[in-house]
Structure 1
Amino acid sequence: MLASTYNPLLVLSSIFISILASYTALGMVGRIAAAQGRAAYGWLAGGACAMGIGIWAMHFVGMLAFRLPIPLGYDAVITALSLLIAIASSAFALWILTYKTLPWPRLLAGALLMGVGIISMHYTGMEALRMNPGIRYVPSLVAASVAIAIGASGIGLWMAFHLRGRSLHSGWLRLGAAVILGLAIAGMHYTGMAAAQFSSGSICGALGAGVDSRWLALVVIVVTMAVLGIALVSSVLDARLESRTAKLAGFLADANGELRHRALHDSLTNLPNRVLLADRLAQCIHAADAEEGQFALMFMDLDGFKAVNDAYGHQAGDALLVEVARRILSRVRPEDTIARLGGDEFVLLTGLLEPKDVAGLAESLLTIIREPFQLAGHELRVSTSIGIVMYPRDGASQRDLLTNADAAMYHSKSLGQNTYCFFQASMSANAQQQLQLLHDLRMAMERREFVLHYQAKVDAHSGIITGAEALLRWHHPVRGLVFPDEFIPAAEKNGMIVQIGEWVLGEACRQLCIWHEKGHRDKSVAVNLSGLQFGHTGLVQAVCDVLQRNNLDPRHLTLEVTETVAMRDADASILILQQLNDTGIRIAIDDFGTGYSSLLYLKRLPAHELKIDRGFVRELPHSTEDAAIVSAILALGHTLNLKVVAEGVETVAQQQFLTGLGCDSLQGYLFGRPMPPDQFLEMLTPS
């Protein structure tokens, strides 16, 4: 037998090529699995070529590393055939791995077929030597090489399948698998080479007509490395592109999800908005119709929210709405829907079936919302009015349900707020009246239907008219003269009271200037401030602008604020009143005695007058209780260096009694009813 040797450098090169080919093949599997359509076939063809050339090159370089004491050559046709076998085996292996699953029967069948292909490639390559006499093989070693080939194929298929979905960050795991697989393939090759025996006197038939092995090793190594390198770089670049595309797709999916969420949810409270509420309401109606069931809808509107919003700014108002939403969510069931329609309006959909259960939930919401809110360093208080409808009793459509619930809510407000009402048919007409009133109010400003009437204020001791209180009236085109009690609550509800209040202030000052020009320069005018107007952030500037526009001395203007409004948030009121006082105008606390004043805060208020409410004057001098209250108010006011004005004086007896107690000014029907400005001017001018 001829003695054989190996070139160590070429042996190491063949092992390196085997590992590199395995690493490349593992990467190509991922690309094939991720691709679709024609791209998948392209990656399959390219992967099969790269993998097949790599395995074949490992085998061929290993054969070139083999040395015999005779010259060797290789038949080009048989060598090319062995390469085709390697590529075909690789294509089969990659095709197996395109399946979504790899059960054990498929894995075993694939390992067997691929192992046979690799063995066929190896022993076909050995035949390319065309030895004469032919090569003899040791059966046990041949069997071992076959077992190694099948085992290596099975290991390779299993590793490739489980690594195909891994990201680039699993490179070390992939490298480890490539080393194991590469060494297994190299082990199969050199086991097969060890099985080959060459008889003494053997001649290589491919010598001369075949391929010369002296330069073939370098060409094979360079070409193989180039092919594997291109395949590896392409795989890596494609993987990164896919990763970035996947990230971009993820970002787009997140962005679309966020857009969908924003389109269906309120941006402030994150509650469902009107659009999502309509969808949920439609589902409830459909389910109730299908099961002959029912559900409840609650329309909630906060009481006093606009005052908070105007007094403390929109940030405090927004924070309050968020906290209200949180409190409501804490009391409703997960399957219920609470939505914000905008502003301070909320709608609750609940599947509660019994009215008593719905009423219990409404009571719970009233209780939790009227508890104080600690926000922005202030204690804020609001309540809510709730209107309730039951489907299908109170409406067959979404529009009917919302309209009737809104009507029930308005009815609950008319009962004093902080309560709930179930819808009744009579409420619908009232709701329509309210809507018409709001519409007419908006038109009233444009059509200049508002007018001011003036009621005289006289000195209690001399009886001389010192000024007048401006009182708002509405000349409605259909209803005639409308008094404030009928439309001011609606104006406060929709926020128009601020605009109306600014008009009243400007018109009263304009009229006062006319009286001054007529020679009555000692007269003054008093204007009432609503709660919303008093808390509005632009109040002080609006007052300054009016005084400047009319060139009016501030001391001739008195702003009246009710005791209840002034004491709603005493610290904030003191700040606002001080700013108004700094302009030089006079401040009066109206309806004194009807609220809940703190003497600690009252003495700090920069006020000039206290106005005794007409309710304490009506029964004078016959009621000892009212007389005691009036006497106490007069004593308190004078102690605080405040002028005291009594309203509602209608009789001479009341005038004499109040004057005797030391009242400074009087106002009431005894001295004249509210009258138009021209008539009041005639009253000022003696005939």
Structure 2
Amino acid sequence: MRERAVSGHPDSPGRTPGATLPSVTEREDTAKESTEARPAPSGPGDDTAASLGDYRATFYAARVAMAVLNRDGLVLAANPAFGELVGTDPAELVAATAADLTDLGADPRGWTAYREVLCGRSDRMRCTRRLKHPEGHSVWVEVTVEPLTPEPLSGEERMLLSVADISDRHDLLARLRHLQMHDPVTRLPNRALFFERLAAALETASFAPSGTGRIGLCYLDLDGFKAVNDTLGHRVGDRLLSAVAQRLTRCAEAAEDRGPGRGGYLVARLGGDEFALLVEDSTGTDQLAELAQSVLDALQRPFDLAGQRLSVSASIGVVERTATGTTATGLMQAADTTLYWAKEDGKARWTLFDPERNAHRMTRQALSSTLRPAVDRGEFTLEYQPLVGLGDGRAQGVEALVRWRHPQFGTLSPNRFIALAEENGAIVELGRWVLERACYQARAWQLAHPGEPLFVSVNVAVRQVWDSDLVADVAGILAETGLPPELLQLELTESAVMGSAGRPLQALQALSDMGVRIAIDDFGTGYSNLAYLSRLPVSVLKLDGSFVRGFRSQEHPNPADEMIVEALVALAHRLGLTVTAECVESAEQAERLRRIGCDTGQGWLYSRPVAPDRVEALLDAGRHTGA
């Protein structure tokens, strides 16, 4: 609040109790009249006159500073306590402007409330002000203005202004607020005060004509702080937090010294091992990046705590943006996301908020949260890509590839949502749906072309093996659809199959015993264990497309890729396995793979993934071309 200086002599003449309160019609000379005893009133109205005398005596004897005002806010009379407060003889205050004496114009809201009372539109106003006492110190006062009964003789309306010294109460409340708004361990502002300051800073930066109109935030937490508490105890942990707070404060002070006028800094502990450095009126990302790096450098120096020498690091999320349109919640969400990126990227670093990366994260979250309902709503569909024999060019099967027809993001390929489905468990329900639809479609093709049956290949995630009874699901679907087991192929990634033991291996073996073919997808990119390969119930190896890309042309072959593929094909054949090459895009690639001995090929040379109703025509065309 503003502090008003009031000049004048602190001493003021006292008044005898029982002195008469001047009426509004009396002038300054009347206010200075002697207060000697007067004859007792007599006749009609004597009780009223005595009552008025009592009120005037109380007014002048009161220890609370009071003044009577007219409708214009001018002083008609002031008691000795009021004169002492402002350091002026009460008689000299007559006709003075009360708002100037008590600083009622300090803020627009208080001034409006005061004018409402003077105009008769409100019955009372109360506010708190900080005034300068004549002796030099400041006092906190509570100012109250309310109407009095009209003056008996003239009928003029009057106001009573009272000013109560609340300095002791204000100081107590200030101490209580400080305890409430500060962390007892680090003595830094706590979460409540931080958000209060953040809201005020956003409002000021958005509407104040001066300043940069921007705001910055470094949001950090200590890497591995829990281990300190768990191994050394919470007392050492609290000492570490206090020491970290001191270094953060010094970093903020040094930043202010380096760039005076660049905005205020606030260091706060938000809870646990989380801290925030708020920069008001920031000048750009460079300023925040400089501050974040100084914090990292400061925290890398070891801490000596009661004989314990500790080294810690921190991860920091940095956000800097214009204040207009920014909310406290939005700023903290961005900072929290960026802090997560810093930890995800390796910890002990600062990371700047990236709107594009955040948009990707938000999209990812939106997809993850709607995966399960999307299965029930029928938003998924299957496309099929032929698996063609390299020897005769005839289609032997198709791979079922799931697509998500998302109402907001359009048609999505598996690489946009399969990993999410595996993370949140929706892959079990989705995988069961894909398996069922693919088997129904394969059975329909078998019935339409009984002489040339096509097998269908379906991708299976490891989580489907762990979180569901895959063997029972496959057996039930085959029985329901009537599809022979030999016309179903299940594809698992190399990293999922290699090293399988326990339940996964048992499931693979049971499926193989059932007659279902097992294929290792993307072979050659994982952790190949060729010795273990011979003990797995695997029928097919699907070579990753990265090997086939070295076969692009006869003029610029990649001998290493060709030698690797040739060795893998020979090894697979020795083990009784067939080999499928992925990503075949040209006739030259197909011919070279055929010469090496690869069994089947899959890729855009034959067809992109298509809807079921286009598969038969594409396969017929492929047969004629291959023949």
TM-score, normalised to structure 2's length?
Answer: 0.48
Whichever structure has more helix as a proportion of its residues is 1
TM-score, normalised to structure 1's length?
Answer: 0.44
Higher CA-based Rg: 1
